[in-house]
């Protein structure tokens, strides 16, 4: 197994990455697990892809190991694409997602069901030990429910629905098959499969 640094402190995100990439012989670990402090990286890009690269490059420069970073968020059509790249900072960076979800539902309270369309987007940037950059982006279309449901997932999953079911109510396998991150990681898997000798 080859260790890849995953530039995240989100354990659930790490598990998703591990489920999809493990068949390639990749062992995803956080920098903290390797005793490396990535510090605070300023995500000042204007797109998910730019922010994913910023995080990946900062981690690669510190670790010198293969790195995977992602930037993802929820884009709501009725809100002109908000919260978008500011999804984690919506309602305050340190506010729990229950608060962020409450704010989102309040903003959408007068929006009819047929206009509550949204999508999740996930940009993944991988930097191999050679310095080669692989960038992919996945998307999942859905709607914002009127209220949260389900007790799985994380982030905005309780209110993001596909075919009437929230991401938080899906099994891990179902979510991997449908989700923006699952789509992006499968693209990354296909790219890495042809480069196994490079890691």
Q: Are 39 and 65 in contact (CB under 8 A)?
A: no
Q: Is 71 among the residues known to form the active site?
A: yes
Region of 92 (left: φ > 0; alpha: ψ -120 to 50; beta: rest) is left
pLDDT reading at 198 higher than 80: no
User: Out of 70, 71, 77, 94, which one is annotated catalytic?
Assistant: 71
Q: Are 157 and 12 in contact (CB under 8 A)?
A: no
Residue of higher predicted confidence among 76 and 20: 76
Mean pLDDT is lowest, of 40-44, 98-102, 176-180, for 40-44
- pLDDT, tens digit, for every residue of 107-161? 999 999 999 999 999 999 999 999 999 999 999 999 999 999 999 889 999 999 9
pLDDT reading at 72 higher than 90: yes
Full-model pTM: 0.91
Ordered structural domains, the chain, with CATH = 2-198 (3.90.950.10)
CA distance 190 to 65: 20
């Amino acid at each position: 197994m080859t260790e890849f640094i995953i530039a995240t402190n989100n354990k659930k995100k790490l598990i998703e990455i591990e489920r999809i990439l493990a068949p390639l012989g990749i062992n995803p670990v956080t920098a903290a697990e390797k005793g490396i402090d990535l510090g605070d990286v300023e995500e000042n890009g204007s797109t998910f892809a730019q922010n994913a690269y910023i995080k990946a490059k900062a981690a690669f420069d510190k670790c010198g190991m293969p790195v995977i970073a992602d930037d993802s968020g929820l884009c709501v059509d009725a809100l002109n694409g908000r919260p978008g790249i500011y999804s984690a900072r919506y309602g305050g960076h340190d506010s729990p997602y229950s608060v962020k979800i409450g704010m989102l539902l309040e903003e959408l309270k007068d929006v009819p069901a047929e206009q509550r369309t949204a999508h999740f987007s996930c940009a993944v940037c991988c930097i191999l030990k050679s310095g080669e950059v692989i960038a992919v982006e996945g998307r999942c279309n859905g709607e914002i429910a009127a209220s949260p449901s389900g007790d799985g997932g994380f982030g905005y999953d309780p209110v993001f629905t596909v075919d009437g079911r929230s991401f938080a109510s899906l099994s891990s396998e179902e979510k991997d098959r449908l989700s923006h991150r699952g789509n992006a990681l499968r693209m990354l898997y296909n790219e890495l499969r042809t480069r196994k000798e490079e890691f």
